Amino acid sequence: MTIATKKQYKSLTKVHAILYAKGLHFFSEDAELHCREIGDGNLNYVFHIKDAQSERSLIIKQALPYAKVVGESWPLTLKRATIEAIALKKQAEYVPTLVPTVYATDEDLAITVMEDLSHLKIAREGLIHLESYPKLSRDIGEYLAQTLFHTSDFALHPFEKKGLVSEFSNPELCKITEDLIFTDPFFDHETNDFEPSLRAEVEVIWNNERLKLEVAKLKRSFLTEAEALLHGDLHTGSIFASETETKVIDPEFAFYGPIGFDIGIFLANLIVQSITRETEARNTILQHIEQTWEVFSSTFSTLWKSKSIESYKDTKGFEEYVLDKIFRDTLGFAGCELIRRTIGLAHVKDLDAIVEEEQRLHFKKQALQVGKTLILKRYDLHSIDAVIALLEELH
């Protein structure tokens, strides 16, 4: 894009969004378009635009130049819209059915125009209401293996890989993760947010030097290991699901990081869900946890054997070493996510929306306990079955 055509950024109103949609020639000239803003309102606008006649619809997501958290605003780069759009396109090369189609992007206005997925439900909401998503873990296991393998050094020429590392440089959004997942919850920091009744448990965490050493190591991995292109925010609120479909949205945190991060964030959000459920319904989630890892690791292994360009790919023990390293990281990152979702700035509805106080506090304490165990015992838990056993022991 040349300087001459550069447009001034301006946040859209619904009227502007309709005009913008008209300019895309996606709808017929005389279409009567209806627009609703359906975003969560913290970082971005999400406009849903529909032609009632033809039933055609699309989504316009626009980044805002600031983030709104706890009533405060701070500037946040608009470049994340471009990161999100190019990440969705990159992922579509490997898992076209598991991401929304991008119809158009606009760097100046920080806009991504994409497929409307309103026929699906955000997985977190559905899971809280015990809806069944039989394909969820297969699809996410597949998504993880395909996107992470194909963007790693095992699949890409080193020049191409390093080109992507620089294209996906995302320092401001990484900083949010570095602070809110890896740092603040482990110190008495003002961003933390927890119920007063949890203070004793929280102080135990702040004073646990062994735990903090392990979190420091995990943070260092996140800061330094450019293994693959991550989604960067793969919680169940970034996944649309139904009984037959799964779509991963919202990769604005995408960057090159350790493979286990995406897997760990997803598993932690399933673990939270499992903690809140009674035995029978819990088993469904435990199966999803097991299946996510099984599908990820078997698919990754198949890709390794069929597509790896790494000279050492057939050297005895190397594939096992790589998968084992990913597994340890996955457990550690999952542990950090469990802790920060319980006592850090950004909570999850799975826990916070439980009305009964004693119940809610009990589950939050379990989330903290599992989080600590995953971080501290990640070299002693030798398989996903060992993790499942740990979760089955909770009551």
Q: Which of 234, 274, 258 is nearest to 332 (CA)?
A: 258
Partner from ligand ADP, Mg ion, none contacting 114, C-beta within 5 to 8 A by type: ligand ADP
How many residues can be counted in the chain?
395
Task: Please provide residue 45's backbone torsions phi and psi, each rounded to the nearest 5 degrees.
Answer: -90, 140
Which listed range, 34-42, 177-185, 213-221, 369-377, lies at the site for ligand ADP (CB under 6 A)? Answer: 34-42
Binding flag, residue 92, ligand ADP (CB under 6 A) = no
Select from 51, 250, 262, 319 the one that contacts Mg ion (CB under 5 A): 250
Which listed range, 36-44, 129-137, 198-206, 340-348, lies at the site for ligand ADP (CB under 6 A)? Answer: 36-44
- Residues in contact with ligand ADP, counted by CB under 6 A, come to a total of 20
Residue number of the CB closest to Mg ion reads: 250
Binding flag, residue 193, Mg ion (CB under 5 A) = yes
Partner from Mg ion, ligand ADP, none contacting 46, C-beta within 5 to 8 A by type: ligand ADP
Please check whether residue 376 is in contact with residue 336, taking contact to mean a CB–CB distance below 8 angstroms.
no
Binding flag, residue 122, ligand ADP (CB under 6 A) = yes
- Cα torsion 220, 224, 229, 230 to 10°: value is 10
Binding flag, residue 11, ligand ADP (CB under 6 A) = no
Task: Name residues contacting Mg ion, limited to 220-249 (CB under 5 A).
Answer: none
- 118 vs 169 by CB, closer to ligand ADP: 118
Min. distance of Cβ 350 from Mg ion in angstroms? 13
Which listed range, 40-48, 204-212, 296-304, 314-322, lies at the site for ligand ADP (CB under 6 A)? Answer: 40-48
Min. distance of Cβ 148 from ligand ADP in angstroms? 21
Min. distance of Cβ 68 from Mg ion in angstroms? 13
- Residue 52 CA to residue 48 CA, distance in Å, equals 12
Partner from ligand ADP, Mg ion, none contacting 117, C-beta within 5 to 8 A by type: ligand ADP
Binding flag, residue 81, ligand ADP (CB under 6 A) = no
Partner from ligand ADP, Mg ion, none contacting 359, C-beta within 5 to 8 A by type: none
Q: What is the DSSP letter of 32?
A: -
The CB density around residue 355, as the number of other CB atoms within 10 Å, is 6
Min. distance of Cβ 347 from Mg ion in angstroms? 4
- 183 vs 238 by CB, closer to ligand ADP: 238
Q: What is the DSSP string of 53-120?
A: TT--EEEEEEE-SEEEETTEEEE--THHHHHHHHHHHHHHTT-GGGSPPEEEEETTTTEEEEE--TTS
Binding flag, residue 121, Mg ion (CB under 5 A) = no
- 136 vs 249 by CB, closer to ligand ADP: 249
59 Cβ contact partners less than 8 Å away, ≥ 6 residues apart = 46, 47, 48, 49, 100, 113, 114, 115, 116, 117
* DSSP bridge partners of 241: 121, 246
Select from 121, 135, 138, 347 the one that contacts Mg ion (CB under 5 A): 347
Any alpha helices (H) in the chain, and if so which ranges?
14-22, 79-92, 123-128, 136-150, 158-167, 171-180, 199-206, 209-224, 260-275, 279-307, 318-343, 349-352, 357-376, 384-392
Residue 11 corresponds to which tokens in the numbers above? 């946040």
Please check whether residue 260 is in contact with residue 102, taking contact to mean a CB–CB distance below 8 angstroms.
no
Which listed range, 28-36, 120-128, 187-195, 362-370, lies at the site for Mg ion (CB under 5 A)? Answer: 187-195
Residue 359 corresponds to which tokens in the numbers above? 């119940």
Please check whether residue 121 is in contact with residue 132, taking contact to mean a CB–CB distance below 8 angstroms.
no
Select from 53, 97, 118, 383 the one that contacts ligand ADP (CB under 6 A): 118
- 61 vs 341 by CB, closer to ligand ADP: 61
Residues that bind Mg ion (CB under 5 A): 193, 250, 252, 347
- Site residues (vs ligand ADP, CB under 6 A): 38-40, 42-44, 46, 59, 61, 100, 114-118, 122, 238, 249-250, 252
